């Protein structure tokens, strides 16, 4: 027999929604605070307690409660930004499918990052967070954050490498690492000194990066004796 919904049921549902909203708000505050502090000071220089204090959470265990370890917090920040970037990659992959033009694939490499940064406006920290992350080999070696390793990124890299058949796989891999470092650190520098017209700055940065990466990938490889 069905039970008639009561005022108590409605109140319980309302409390549940309020609780869920509070959890989402707290998680978002932790992510935003941690991203900024990691970008400014480095990932291993900032404690969970400092993040809680800076975020005004009033509970020194809030970070551990919501995310567990620092590594999982870092992963959550990365995934929060990577999801919209994957959508940009998907659109670019569809647009350039079958292309044999190196610059098309360099655009697929650069645009997801710079277009996402442009969408964040003038008060962004993500490029500097990524630059800090790339200096922390412990996190990358453990596979906790797959910078440059998502399936769509691998598809882009494979297409790019096919445009450069004269280079060996080892040289491809080395230049991929150089490219990721150049993109991350150039964007971090640009983010730190964004002008008022940040959209125009990111557009110019995108163009400059594609030009520089074209030179990097097309440069001859000196044979090793």
What is the pLDDT at residue 86?
95
What lies within 8 Å, CB to CB, of 156 at 6+ separation is 89, 93, 105, 108, 109
What lies within 8 Å, CB to CB, of 206 at 6+ separation is 110, 111, 114, 115
Which structural domain, as residue segments, surrounds residue 96?
A: 70-218
What lies within 8 Å, CB to CB, of 196 at 6+ separation is 122
Residue 52 sits in the same domain as residue 87 = no
Least confident window among 44-58, 71-85, 153-167, 176-190: 44-58
Least confident window among 8-22, 27-41, 87-101, 109-123: 8-22
Q: Is the pLDDT of residue 142 over 80?
A: no
Least confident window among 8-12, 16-20, 152-156, 219-223: 8-12
Tell me whether residue 1 is exposed, middle or buried, using C-beta atoms within 10 angstroms of its C-beta: 0 to 12, 13 to 18, 19 or more: exposed
Residue 106 sits in the same domain as residue 133 = yes
Q: What are the pLDDT digits (tens) for 32-44? A: 999 999 999 998 8
Residue 62 sits in a domain whose CATH number is 1.10.10
End-of-domain residue from the set 49, 68, 87: 68
Q: Is the pLDDT of residue 203 over 50?
A: yes
Determine, yes or no, domain membership for 35: yes
End-of-domain residue from the set 28, 52, 68: 68
Task: Count the domains in the chain.
Answer: 2
Q: Is the pLDDT of residue 10 over 60?
A: no
pTM of the full structure: 0.85
| Contact predicate 210/95, CB 8 Å | no
Provide the pLDDT confidence category of residue 134 given band limits of 50, 70 and 90: confident
Structure tokens at 212: 């520089």
What is the pLDDT at residue 1?
46
Distance CA 144, CA 125 (A): 20
In degrees, to the nearest 5, what angle opens at C-alpha 31 toward C-alphas 129 and 199?
55
Residue 94 sits in the same domain as residue 188 = yes
């Amino acid at each position: 027999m069905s039970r008639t919904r009561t005022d108590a049921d409605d109140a319980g549902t309302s409390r549940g929604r309020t609780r869920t909203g509070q959890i989402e708000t707290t998680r978002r505050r932790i992510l935003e605070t941690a991203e900024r502090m990691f970008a400014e000071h480095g990932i291993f220089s900032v404690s969970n307690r400092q993040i809680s204090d800076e975020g005004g959470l009033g509970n020194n265990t809030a970070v551990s409660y919501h995310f567990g370890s620092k590594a999982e917090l870092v992963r959550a920040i990365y995934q929060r930004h990577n999801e919209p970037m994957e959508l940009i990659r998907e659109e670019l992959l569809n647009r350039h499918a079958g292309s044999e033009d190196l610059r098309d694939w360099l655009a697929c490499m650069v645009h997801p990052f710079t277009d996402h940064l442009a969408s964040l406006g003038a008060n962004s920290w993500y490029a500097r967070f990524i630059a800090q992350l790339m200096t922390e080999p412990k996190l990358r070696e453990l596979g906790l954050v797959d910078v440059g390793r998502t399936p769509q990124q691998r598809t882009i890299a494979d297409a790019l490498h096919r445009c450069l058949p004269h280079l060996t796989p080892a040289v491809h891999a080395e230049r991929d690492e150089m490219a990721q470092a150049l993109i991350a650190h150039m964007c971090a520098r640009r983010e730190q000194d964004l002008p008022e017209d940040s959209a125009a700055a990111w557009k110019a940065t995108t163009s400059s990066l594609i030009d520089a990466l074209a030179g990097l990938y097309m440069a001859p490889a000196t044979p090793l004796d």
